[in-house]
């Protein structure tokens, strides 16, 4: 029986626990034993991206400590947090004799959720059915940071009844950028408006993605303007499709 | 370097109000962006070519001192004169002295970002010299007192109707927005300038160390006029423009036009190898190269040196969703887009551009587009780190980050604070918030914020599934 450790990420933990539950449900449905190591906080990405690398290291050390003592894959249902652990932790502790090797070992275990399903478990068809029309938003850190695009698309393509509608310029950033959304709200808001226009032009029911932070940003914009369109994490869509 | 009093946010607000300019920018960058993709698709081994180009740039920048000296030797042997300038003021002095020594009064310029960087025109004009930009875009910008908004296409933000109005007003010609009529007007005026100029000033796309050759990549042919008709030719060159060999130049020339405009080759690629030799029918009698440091050698030493690999193709601007949203003027410096957000603070100091490294979502589209694979997001992150280290980060950010690090340092505190947030969200009956105070109001002006869960995932799963 395959075993994984789940890094839940602070946004899913505190704002969208239902998405976390869906990740567990899908993995357990596929016979995976899921453990959630105790004491997780934030990966440190917001501090890192804002230039506060010392503070980012504090959070990174906590994460490294929490996941020590196992060789199981660390599944992360958020491309940008996965990229943080995989690419930035080794860079943050490059010259650290203690945490450096541990950061590199941790990075080697990181596996984004859809990557784990498709590339490790070799599953694309979960036997799901879900009658909705969706547009897939390939979040930048999932797409470019982790190189993941084919995996979520394959999973969605296998869902019965699901209509996937392509949007214009699909690889365009939604304007979230973490700290950027608060530091540069005018640019971020304009980029979001442009992206929402592209989503709404498809007439789809839902925007689906692999990164809860971008989805939070997009849904926040949709709600603010009174749109009926909603967002959904891919794990939630798959979990609903299993029911 | 051209820094402005206004803050980035003020400039962004102004840019976003100019819907007309933004539409022009989106149309043009779309065309460049899709042109680049098509041109690279058609190039066999494009990826290997980009890897090779990066290797050439990395090698050259690592041995820049050697190659610059080799270039100086080769160029001097051809009868040219090399000048070394530490900063903008020295460049201005050198060019002015060359002009005065040669009794120059009229100068024709071809497009050059480095002369914008050092504000050369203003200094020459202040000394009583007539300076005319001959690149069509730069000519329009000069006529209208505008600044370039794009590395390659200086007046990308203007439509042909805008240009028609500028020509009618400044050149006293009947209004037209017909492109061939507009270019005919410019050509007619500029021909006089080329023929009358005593001195031509050009930039330099590449300088070949082994041969002392200057390479100019242009589409209008004005570069060739500027470098061949006047009796004096001055090249102003950023010190990183070197390529070691003609063969290396060949690699760069395959990538630069494709990455810039989607052309297989620009209309002109001029190779200028020294001043007039015996038997040459016409060529400048004097040729000077001014090698400009202006902050570059300082960058060589740190972990931002990779920005010196840049070949100024502007592919990162065209790919950048931020540039496409706000245009080039909002960046406040001469250089805009992702490369500008790095090069402006690297050359002009972070204190002058503290917000520029934050003008990016780190989406990585620039890194994808860069023909020499410059890791622009990583360079932006390093500049943000430097901003914090140099104490240039605003107090609210510092306080916020401190508090957030305190909460997330240990799970106990995190659990307490998130439980509190969950309880508060229950008061809001689990609705998405449409108003938040202070700096967080920047979020809710454009987006609602989700409620905190009454029970976090980790609390809900305590007792099961943990190790």
> What's the pLDDT at B466?
55
Q: Is the pLDDT of residue B325 over 90?
A: yes
Q: Do A183 and B442 touch (CB under 8 A)?
A: yes
**B235-258 average pLDDT score:** 98
Q: Which residues of B touch A8 (CB under 8 A)?
A: 457-458
- Give residue for tokens 């979520």: A152
Nearest chain B Cα distance for residue A231, angstroms: 12
Q: CA-CA distance, B259 to B458, in Å (whole number)?
A: 48
pLDDT tens figures, B67-118: 999 999 999 999 999 999 999 999 999 999 999 999 999 999 999 999 999 9
| Residue A163 burial by Cβ neighbours in a 10 Å radius (0-12, 13-18, 19+) | middle
Provide the Cα torsion B15, B19, B22, B28; round to 10°.
Answer: -160
Locate A26 and state its tokens. 């899908």
pLDDT at B5 over 70: no
pLDDT for the residue B1: 39
- Rounded to whole angstroms, the Cα distance separating B12 from B330 reads 5
Find where tokens 């399903």 sit. A117
Average pLDDT, chain B: 95
- In this structure, are residues A220 and A8 in contact, taking their beta carbons and an 8 Å threshold? no
| pLDDT band at residue B246 under the 50/70/90 scheme | very high
What is the number of residues in chain A? 243
Among B234, B167, B230, B148, which Cα is nearest to B193's? B230
Average pLDDT over residues B448-467: 84
Q: Give the best residue of B350, B458, B459, B462 to mutate against chain A (max A CB count within 10 A).
A: B458
Residues in chain A with pLDDT values less than 50: none
Please name the residue that has the structure tokens 């059915």.
A129
Indicate the pLDDT class of residue B280, thresholds 50, 70 and 90. Answer: confident
User: How far is residue A181's CA from residue A202's CA, in Å, rounded to a whole number?
Assistant: 25
Count the neighbouring beta carbons within 10 Å of the beta carbon of residue B369. 24
Is the CB of B448 less than 8 angstroms away from the CB of A44? no
**Pairwise CB contact (< 8 Å): B397 & A173:** no
Residue B280: how many other CB atoms lie within 10 Å? 12
Reported as type and span, the H/E element at residue B438 is: none
Q: Which residues is A74 bridged to in the sheet?
A: A5, A110
Q: Which residue of A has its CA nearest to B413?
A: A41
Query: Closest to A40 (Cβ–Cβ): which among B364, B386, B458?
Result: B458
Q: What is the pLDDT at residue B428?
A: 82
Sign of CA dihedral A141, A143, A148, A151: positive
Q: Is A13's CB within 8 Å of B447's CB?
A: no
Q: Predicted confidence band at B32 (pLDDT cuts at 50, 70, 90)?
A: very high
Instruction: Report d(CA B237, CA B84) in Å as an integer.
Output: 10
User: E strands, B241-365, where?
Assistant: 242-243, 268-272, 286-292
* pLDDT of B4 strictly over 60: no
ipTM of the complex: 0.97
* Chain A CB contacts of B414 below 8 Å: 10, 41-42
pLDDT of residue B467: 52
pLDDT digits (tens, 9 = 90+) for B337-378: 999 999 999 999 999 999 999 999 999 999 999 999 999 999
Predicted pLDDT at B55: 98
CA A77 to chain centre: 4
The pLDDT of residue B2 is 40
Provide mean pLDDT across the span B28-44.
Answer: 96
Q: What is the reported pLDDT for A196?
A: 98
- What confidence tier does B3 reach under pLDDT thresholds 50, 70, 90? very low
Asked if A174 and A191 touch (Cβ cutoff 8 Å), the reply is yes
Q: What is the share, in percent, of chain B residues with pLDDT greater than 70?
A: 98
- Confirm or reject contact between A15 and chain B (CB < 8 A): yes
Q: Which of B342, B249, B214, B343 is nearest to B60 (CA)?
A: B249
């Amino acid at each position: 029986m395959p075993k994984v450790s789940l890094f839940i990420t602070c946004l899913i933990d505190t704002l969208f626990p239902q998405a976390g539950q869906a990740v567990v449900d899908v993995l357990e449905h596929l016979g995976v034993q899921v453990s959630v190591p105790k004491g997780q906080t934030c990966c440190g990405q917001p501090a890192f991206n804002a230039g506060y690398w010392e503070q980012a290291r504090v959070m990174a050390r906590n994460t490294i400590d929490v996941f020590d003592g196992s060789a199981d894959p660390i599944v992360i249902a958020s491309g940008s947090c996965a990229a943080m652990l995989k690419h930035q932790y080794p860079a943050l502790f490059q010259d650290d004799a203690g945490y450096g090797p541990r950061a590199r070992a941790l990075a080697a275990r990181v596996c984004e959720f859809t990557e784990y399903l498709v590339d490790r478990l070799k599953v694309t068809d979960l036997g799901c059915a879900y009658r909705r029309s969706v547009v897939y938003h390939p979040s930048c850190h999932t797409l470019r940071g982790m190189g993941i695009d084919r995996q979520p698309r394959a999973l969605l393509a296998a869902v019965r009844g699901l209509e996937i509608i392509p949007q214009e310029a699909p690889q365009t950033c939604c304007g979230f950028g973490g700290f950027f959304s608060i530091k540069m709200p005018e640019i971020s808001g304009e980029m979001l408006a442009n992206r929402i226009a592209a989503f709404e032009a498809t007439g789809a029911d839902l925007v689906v993605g692999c990164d809860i932070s971008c989805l939070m940003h997009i849904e926040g914009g949709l709600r603010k303007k009174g749109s009926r369109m909603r967002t959904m994490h891919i794990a939630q869509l798959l979990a609903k499709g299993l029911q | 370097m051209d820094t402005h009093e206004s803050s980035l946010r003020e400039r962004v607000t102004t840019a976003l109000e100019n819907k007309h300019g933004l539409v022009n920018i989106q149309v043009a960058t779309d065309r460049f962006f899709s042109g680049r993709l098509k041109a690279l698709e058609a190039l066999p081994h494009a990826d290997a070519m980009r890897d090779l180009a990066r290797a050439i740039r990395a090698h050259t920048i690592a041995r820049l001192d050697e190659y610059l000296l080799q270039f100086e030797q080769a160029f001097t042997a051809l009868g040219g004169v090399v000048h070394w300038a530490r900063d903008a003021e020295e460049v201005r002095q050198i060019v002015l002295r060359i002009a005065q020594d040669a009794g120059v009064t009229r100068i024709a310029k071809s497009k050059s970002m480095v002369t914008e960087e050092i504000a050369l025109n203003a200094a020459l004009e202040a000394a009583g010299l007539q300076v005319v930009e001959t690149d069509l875009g730069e000519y329009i910008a000069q006529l209208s007192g505008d600044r370039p908004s794009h590395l390659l296409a200086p007046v990308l933000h203007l439509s042909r109707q805008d240009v028609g109005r500028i020509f009618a007003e400044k050149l006293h010609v009947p209004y037209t927005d017909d492109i061939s009529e507009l270019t005919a007007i410019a050509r007619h005026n500029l021909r006089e300038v080329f023929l009358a100029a005593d001195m031509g000033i050009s930039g330099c796309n590449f300088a070949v160390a082994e041969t002392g050759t200057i390479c100019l990549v242009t589409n209008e042919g004005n570069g060739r006029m500027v470098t061949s008709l006047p009796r004096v030719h001055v090249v102003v060159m950023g010190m990183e423009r070197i390529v070691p060999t003609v063969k290396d130049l060949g690699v760069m020339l395959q990538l630069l036009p494709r990455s810039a405009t989607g052309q297989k080759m620009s209309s002109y690629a001029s190779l200028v190898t020294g001043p007039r030799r015996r038997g040459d029918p016409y060529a400048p009698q004097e040729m000077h190269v001014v090698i400009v440091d202006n902050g570059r050698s300082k960058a060589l030493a740190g972990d931002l040196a990779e920005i010196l690999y840049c070949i100024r193709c502007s592919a990162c601007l065209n790919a950048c969703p931020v540039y496409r949203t706000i245009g080039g003027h909002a960046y406040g410096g001469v250089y805009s887009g992702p490369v500008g957000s790095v090069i402006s603070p690297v050359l002009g100091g972070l204190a002058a551009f503290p917000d520029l490294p934050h003008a990016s979502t780190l989406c990585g589209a620039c890194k994808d587009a860069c023909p020499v694979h410059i890791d622009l997001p990583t360079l932006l992150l390093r500049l943000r780190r430097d901003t914090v280290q140099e104490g240039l980060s605003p107090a609210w950010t510092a306080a916020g980050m401190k508090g957030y690090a305190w909460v997330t340092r240990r799970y106990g505190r995190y659990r307490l604070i998130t439980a509190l947030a969950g309880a508060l969200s229950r008061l809001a009956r689990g609705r998405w918030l449409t108003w938040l105070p202070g700096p967080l109001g920047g979020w809710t002006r454009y987006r609602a914020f989700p409620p905190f869960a009454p029970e976090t995932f980790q609390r809900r799963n305590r007792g099961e599934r943990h190790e």
